[in-house]
Amino acid sequence: MATLAEPGTQTIPPTTQAPRVVSLDIFRGLTMAVMVFVNDLASVKGLPWWTYHASGNIDAMTYVDMVFPAFLFILGMAIPLAVEQRLRKDPSLPHLWMHILLRSFSLLVLGLILANAGGGDPALIHMRPSVWTLLALLGALLVWQVYPRNNGARNDGRQTLYRALRIAGALLIAVMFAIFRHTAKDGSVTWIRTAYPEILGLLAFAYLTTCILYVPTRRWRWAPFVWFAVLTLFCALSTAKLIPLPGHASLYLWPFHNGSSTSISMAGVATSMIFVGPHSLRWPNFRSKAAFAGGFAAATLVAGGILTPLGISKIRATPTWCLYSIGISILTFIFLYWIADVRHHTRWAFFTRSAGSNTLLTYLLPDIWYFALSALGITWFRTHLAWGTPGVLRAIAFTPLILVLSAVLTRMKIRLQI
């Protein structure tokens, strides 16, 4: 439909909401399901080496080592869509950056809770470490729960209640942080350990650094590909110790680390721009999109092979690990996009629905489960099903249990969003 304008005024095309990319939700849900499985399987002994993370002192990677990069890749894919949607609602760049900083900080806080979960000294915090974790996570649930929006004056009282719940949650987290104490092996007492901020904290830094590079250059079609190349080069040089300092600096001082996480997220941004958004018009149909994205994937796999002498390791965050994970993620997304968004076959992925759309809650559910059992003194699962085939069966049963719990809670309007 043509847009009408008064004479002498500029015609501004109407903006439409970015389409929902079903394959991205499915990809996210599948990755979450695999993460739940491998995390539970990690405590099972007596399994082949490829069922765990590869050791950092060897050059190898397993399917487990590709779960975290898949999250980074999906995080990157969602950034252009989220930025476009937020700027459509509010074109203020300062407000956008405030949202980015707040979201990064929130993910970091959650990461630090999980990184210190179970590590508190009961004699110093005056409660079981599992109880401390559950209370901290309860605060997180209250803060980041998606409460119903205000639809009129009748809901003013409810909105006041929702604000009070958020404030109570934030205070609960602050109190849990304030009382936390950990006794180290040398007998010294320390506070919250921040060296490793857990997966959510690493995602926070990857999200922040990717936005730092993407947002100012978002109008340039090829900028994400250039940034990706620069980050890959930086990772290679850092891994080769030709520029050793940044890769060993604290994430809090240099959030890019050696460029590995940001490079994976930026590859997600680049892939997203091929398939969705205004820049995707450069590739008008699925065949052209798949051909270009497939070429991008092939280039990353070839580059990974070339950089193999620098090592293959998730623990050491080598460029080959990054590039192989990126290539596999791109090919996986192309396949899912063809099935879900082109062929519209989505019923098969019903079990990923809540995990893909209510991801943060699904991510936290296993930890809530583990620490709830610990608080109740239930250890049977860890002592009787922690070896070989019985342990594998436990993980196989635990994964759908978490997905069902996520689906039930989502139906009950319990949804977390940062």
Q: Which residues contact 136 (CB under 8 A, 6 or more apart)?
A: 113, 117, 172, 173, 176, 177
Ordered by start, the domain boundaries in the chain are 22-116+193-411
Look at the block and give the residue holding tokens 């849990």. 176
Q: In 42-128, which residue ranges form alpha helices assigned H by DSSP?
A: 67-89, 93-115, 122-125
| CA distances from residue 358 to 207, 344, 353 in whole angstroms, order as listed | 18, 21, 8
**Residue whose C-alpha is closest to residue 236's, from 316, 326, 329:** 316
pLDDT at 246: 64
User: Given this model, what pLDDT does residue 277 score?
Assistant: 76
d(CA 73, CA 325): 9
Helices (H) and strands (E) in the chain, counts: 16, 2
**Rounded to 10 degrees, what is the CA torsion of 196, 200, 203, 204?**
-90
Q: What tokens appear for 311 in the block?
A: 């090592």
pLDDT along the chain (418 residues), means of 10: 33 46 94 96 92 92 96 96 92 96 97 94 93 96 91 70 95 97 88 92 97 96 96 95 74 92 98 87 90 97 97 96 98 97 94 93 95 89 85 94 96 93
Helix, coil or strand: residue 45: strand
**Using an 8 Å Cβ cutoff, are 32 and 354 in contact?**
no
Cβ atoms within 10 Å, residue 257: 22
